[in-house]
Amino acid sequence: MEVHRKRGDIDQLHLLKDYTQKEAAEWADAWLSIYGRAGRGVNTKSYLWHVFSAGRYPCLSGPAAVARYVAQVGMQFVVLSNDRNHAVLTDQLPDAEAVWSDYYVFPPNLAWTMALTHEAGWLGPYFAQHPDHARLDEENLRQVQKAREIEAARSKGWLG
C-alpha cells in the first residue's frame, strides 16, 4: 500500500529517527498487541483502526478524539503509517491532519494512541488509551517535568 502524503508533510516534523521498514513493522506488532487484542474477525490487514470502528477497543472518536489528542504531552512520539512500512520518531505532537492519510501517533510506551483515518468525519479519527494508561502517562509526564527542570537549570547556568 502506498503512503499518501498530506499538507504538513512529515518533512515538517522535527525527526529524531526514521525507522527501518522492519522497525516500523515491529511498532505495528507492538501496537496490535495492545490495541488489537480483541480484533479477531476485524480486517486489521487493511486498516489497523478497524479495531476502533468495529467497536473492539474502547475509544473516543471525531472531535472528542481530537480534543483529547491535542491535550497530550510527551517528549517523543512515534508516527506509524497504516501500511506498517514507515515510522518515524519525533519530539513534536503531529497536527491531527498533517502526516499521512492513515496513520497512528503514540508515545513510545504506547500509553495512548491516535488513529487518523482517510474516512475522518465519517469513521474516525480515534483516540484510545492503554489499559495501564494512568501509570504509563505518569511516566511520560515525569519525563516532561525532568526535561523542563534540566532546561531551567541550563538557563540559570547550572548545567553546561
Residue 107 lies in a domain: yes
Residue 5 lies in a domain: no
pTM for the predicted model, two decimal places:
0.84
Residue 2 lies in a domain: no
Residue 96 lies in a domain: yes
- Please report the pLDDT score of residue 127 as a whole number: 97
Range of the domain at 95: 10-155
Residue 1 lies in a domain: no
List the strands of the sheet with 77-81, edge to edge: 15-18, 87-90, 77-81, 103-106, 112-116, 126-129, 60-61
Per-residue confidence of the chain (160 residues) as pLDDT tens digits? 233 333 345 557 788 999 999 999 999 999 999 998 766 667 778 889 999 998 999 999 999 999 999 999 888 999 999 999 999 999 988 887 655 678 999 999 999 999 999 886 788 899 999 999 889 888 888 888 887 887 777 777 887 6
Give the cell for residue 152: 531551567
CA pseudo-torsion sign 92, 34, 62, 48: positive
Detail the DSSP E strand segments found in the chain: 15-18, 60-61, 77-81, 87-90, 103-106, 112-116, 126-129
| Count of structural domains, the chain | 1
